[in-house]
A and B are shown apart, each in its own frame.
Chain A
Amino acid sequence: MTTLTDQPATTAQPPSAPRPKRRTRSAQQPALGWRIVVVGLLTVFALYFLLPVYWLIVAATKSTGDLFGSFGLWFTQPQLWENVQNVLTYDGSIYLRWTLNSILYAGAGAAIATLLAAMAGYAMAKYEFRGREGVFNVILAGVLIPGTALALPLFLLFSELGLANTYLAVLLPSVVSPFGVYLCRIYAAAAVPDSLVEAARIDGAGEARIFTALALRIMAPALVTIFLFQFVGIWNNYFLPLVMLSDPKLYPITLGLTSWQSFADRQPDLYQLTVGGAFLSVIPLMIAILVLQRFWRSGLTEGSVKG
């Protein structure tokens, strides 16, 4: 674990440290040939990453027949609106229910996970207590445990408690983020000054008040990053809901779409529904990722990869 734990926050920047512009264009203008090579390479990779997305957009506009019978990378008789309506109304609008389930699992799970991680990380950064490093190492080991190794025994445990096949079966394990605790500890150690905490104590603020009024606010950039990672992690998770849930009404989108796909052999219309459903679920998340790009990076810069 040495690489992850040693030399924690010593090099972390305070969150708002202004940094000088790295290079001035005139000082080091690379040769035109190099610029063409680099931008060319970047473009080739961009085409690779965007190809399936482009295919999805084209495919989402096609009829079931054209999905199989026409060239995949160009439009034929687009009927996007009709396809979207089919997805949204099929089987008593179950797709909308899956969407709401996914939002519930990922939204509530990530929010609680972030709060718990903030509390634990802050306590480890700002208080001295016996066994602190031992506890921290046990938490860090959790980062290395394959999530799928936990899902099966969790299912057996939840079955005995009568919790399998309920919302809680997916929600409860999702609120624990060892990686979040790790990020929070490093961030709080670097960004929350001891003198500030001490001053608040002298002013008579209680420990809980110092945390909610001071620390949480200072740690906000890291918390946004942790929330986003946990949200995407839960949203994309497949194994846990697959193991836990048997009632389609409780499915998240991932499980719902694969259930459509697995029935498509017998009912070819479901191919188009799967494609349309994938389109509807992927597009908003992609827009969110692009809009929130700077938050992903800012939290990481201060946290995970320091040291």
Chain B
Amino acid sequence: MTTWSTRRRAVAGFLMPFLLLYAAFFILPIGYAVYQSLLKTERSGPLGLGGSRRVFAGLSNYASALTDPGFVDSILRVLVFAAVQVPLMITLATALALLLDSASARGVPLFRGAYFLPYGVPGVIASILWGFLYIPGVSPIVDILGKTGIQADFLGSGTVLWSVANIVTWEFAGYNMLVVVAQLKAIDSDLYEAARIDGANAWQVVRHVKLPLIRPAIVLTTVFTIIGSLQLFAEPLVLRPISTAINTSYTPNLAAYTQAFVNNNYGLAAAQAVILAIVACVFSFGFLRLTGQRGDKR
């Protein structure tokens, strides 16, 4: 009886510090965002100079967010971005991991290090670097392309989203590759031996042994890439001064940031943050559900 209660106290002692902080900094802010999103500021007196107070606004903040063409565009923009970025990222990360894992590869630690290096560069600094590589007059890339007769414009309205995609790919492809590599390393070497005895060639080993077994890693990196793509913020913010194509509501996060800190409209900003979180949850849970079910059928 005493051991049972000491163990219960131990569980509480081990868990409580984390759970309290988790409640304070994960659960409470979500509740507070929902609460704020239902409020608006009402001004009283002539010309609204008599002071202001927060009053219940129902769903009006959600209505104005969803009827604002700029915000709706920003959601659609990150969805289009994710539709391209996610497959590109996962394909590249998986391809790099498989290349490094193949018998033909040489200098593996060196290459792996080179690919993973950008993960240590903060997104804003990566964006500053690539920004210099995009601006005509500074960029050696634009220079070289110009000499061959190609007028490259990385910052125009049709191209800048993909210039952002390039920055994001550069930053995180190596990290995602590492997750896949970790799973490849965990594959039992007997399986390769068995496949070899069965006469499988290198491609067949990839197709029928490696790819099925690294599926959990691919699912994990896909979910993180979906979430990351939808909350795009730092890269467009840093490129904004050099690209006229990026406005203050270019992505949902940029829109919410502008509402909160430029327009001081916390209610609307909170509603936009909640909408973005819901979209992110729908897509990440949806993807997990989809892949989970397929796994059951096998």
Would you give the 0/1 interface string for A239-275, flagging 1 where the beta carbon is closer than 8 Å to chain B?
1000100000000011001100110010000000011
Judging by beta carbons under 8 Å apart, are B7 and A3 in contact? no
Q: Are A261 and B114 CB-contacts (below 8 A) given A35-B104, A176-B25, A304-B182?
A: no
Q: Does B262 contact A (CB under 8 A)?
A: no
Q: Among B113, B121, B140, B295, point to the contact of A72 (Cβ < 8 A).
A: B140
Residues of B within 8 A of A27 (CB): 196
Q: Does B43 contact A (CB under 8 A)?
A: no
Judging by beta carbons under 8 Å apart, are A119 and B132 in contact? no
Judging by beta carbons under 8 Å apart, are B276 and A300 in contact? no
Judging by beta carbons under 8 Å apart, are B295 and A3 in contact? yes
Residues of A within 8 A of B28 (CB): 157
C-alpha gap A35/B105 in the complex (Å): 6
Q: Are A238 and B124 CB-contacts (below 8 A) given A38-B99, A120-B14, A208-B13?
A: yes
Q: Among A150, A155, A243, A300, point to the contact of B178 (Cβ < 8 A).
A: A300
Q: Does A213 contact B (CB under 8 A)?
A: no
C-alpha gap A129/B273 in the complex (Å): 35
List A28-64 residues whose CB lies under 8 Å from chain B. Answer: 28-30, 34-35, 37-39, 41-43, 45-46, 48-53, 55-56, 59
Residues of B within 8 A of A297 (CB): 178, 181-182, 185
Would you give the 0/1 interface string for B99-121, flagging 1 where the beta carbon is closer than 8 Å to chain A?
11011111101111111111111
Q: Does A146 contact B (CB under 8 A)?
A: yes
Residues of B within 8 A of A38 (CB): 99, 102, 104-105
List A75-120 residues whose CB lies under 8 Å from chain B. Answer: 116-117, 119-120
Would you give the 0/1 interface string for B154-186, flagging 1 where the beta carbon is closer than 8 Å to chain A?
000000000000000010011000110111011
Q: Does B17 contact A (CB under 8 A)?
A: yes
C-alpha gap A238/B233 in the complex (Å): 9
Residues of A within 8 A of B269 (CB): 152
Would you give the 0/1 interface string for A1-36, flagging 1 where the beta carbon is closer than 8 Å to chain B?
111100000010100000111110001111000110
Q: Does A149 contact B (CB under 8 A)?
A: yes
Judging by beta carbons under 8 Å apart, are A45 and B115 in contact? yes
Q: Are A3 and B273 CB-contacts (below 8 A) given A127-B11, A146-B231, A149-B280?
A: no
Q: Are A145 and B181 CB-contacts (below 8 A) given A72-B140, A120-B18, A152-B33?
A: no
Interface size class of B (residues with CB under 8 A): 35 or more
Judging by beta carbons under 8 Å apart, are B179 and A28 in contact? no
List A183-203 residues whose CB lies under 8 Å from chain B. Answer: 201
Judging by beta carbons under 8 Å apart, are A282 and B30 in contact? no
Residues of A within 8 A of B249 (CB): none
Judging by beta carbons under 8 Å apart, are A238 and B122 in contact? yes
Instruction: Name B183's closest neighbour in chain A (CB-CB).
Output: A305
Q: Are A35 and B106 CB-contacts (below 8 A) given A30-B202, A71-B143, A116-B17?
A: yes
Judging by beta carbons under 8 Å apart, are B133 and A52 in contact? yes
Instruction: Name A20's closest neighbour in chain B (CB-CB).
Output: B189
Judging by beta carbons under 8 Å apart, are A1 and B288 in contact? yes
Residues of A within 8 A of B29 (CB): 150, 153-154, 157
Q: Among B7, B15, B17, B25, point to the contact of A172 (Cβ < 8 A).
A: B25
C-alpha gap A146/B105 in the complex (Å): 37
**8 tightest Cβ-Cβ pairs between the two chains A and B:** A72-B140, A207-B10, A123-B14, A300-B182, A153-B33, A153-B29, A120-B18, A236-B122
A-B contact pairs, 12 of them (CB 8 A): A34-B104, A42-B99, A51-B133, A52-B133, A56-B129, A124-B15, A127-B7, A149-B274, A150-B30, A278-B128, A282-B121, A300-B178
Q: Which residues of B line the A interface, CB within 8 A?
A: 3, 6-11, 13-15, 17-19, 21-22, 24-26, 28-30, 32-33, 36, 96, 99-100, 102-107, 109-126, 128-130, 132-133, 137-140, 143, 170, 173-174, 178-179, 181-183, 185-186, 189, 192, 196, 202, 216-217, 219-220, 223, 227, 230-231, 233-234, 237-238, 241, 253, 256-257, 260-261, 266, 269-270, 273-274, 276-277, 280-281, 284-285, 288-289, 291-292, 295
Q: Which residues of A line the B interface, CB within 8 A?
A: 1-4, 11, 13, 19-23, 27-30, 34-35, 37-39, 41-43, 45-46, 48-53, 55-56, 59, 67-68, 71-73, 116-117, 119-120, 122-124, 127, 129, 135, 139, 142, 144-150, 152-157, 172-173, 175-176, 178, 181, 201, 206-208, 211, 232, 235-239, 243, 253-254, 257-258, 261-262, 265, 274-275, 278, 281-282, 285-286, 288-290, 293, 296-297, 300-301, 304-307
